[in-house]
Amino acid sequence: MKRVGFYGRVDPTRIEEYKRRHADVWPEMKQALTKTGWHNYSLFLRPDGLLFGYVEVPESLEASTAAMAHEEVNARWQTWMSELFEGSDVPPDESFIELDEVFHLD
């Protein structure tokens, strides 16, 4: 298992819509995440749109993101989300930037 921290940038003018959609993520989307190894996955949002993610994955964020890229529901979800992200040239989940873990306590 690998613990991953990452960040992204939600458009600050679309924060309420981002919250609404994430309060009610499609069941098929959740199933696809679980199937592709996304475990204990949380997203936190700063009022200016900075998004912080924490997730535990079998191998790497890259591998679990690649596995999601094969799920049809993810293509639909990311297309729907992309309008809420800054710099939406790539699907939001492929724009996340991984952070270095500098400390861990079990």
Q: Which residues bind its own copies (CB under 8 A)?
A: 3, 5, 7, 18-19, 22-23, 25, 30, 33-34, 38-46, 52, 54, 99-106
Nearer to its own copies, 72 or 105 (CB): 105
For residue 19, give Cα distances in angstroms to 42, 44, 62: 13, 10, 25
Compute the C-alpha angle 93/80/55, nearest 5°: 30
Active site includes 22?
yes
Nearer to its own copies, 25 or 66 (CB): 25
CB of 38 to its own copies, least distance (A): 6
CB of 88 to its own copies, least distance (A): 18
Nearer to its own copies, 33 or 67 (CB): 33
User: Edge to edge, what strands does the sheet with 50-57 contain?
Assistant: 50-57, 2-9, 97-98
CB of 43 to its own copies, least distance (A): 4
Q: Which residues contact 61 (CB under 8 A, 6 or more apart)?
A: 2, 4, 6, 55, 96, 98
User: Which residues are part of the catalytic machinery?
Assistant: 22
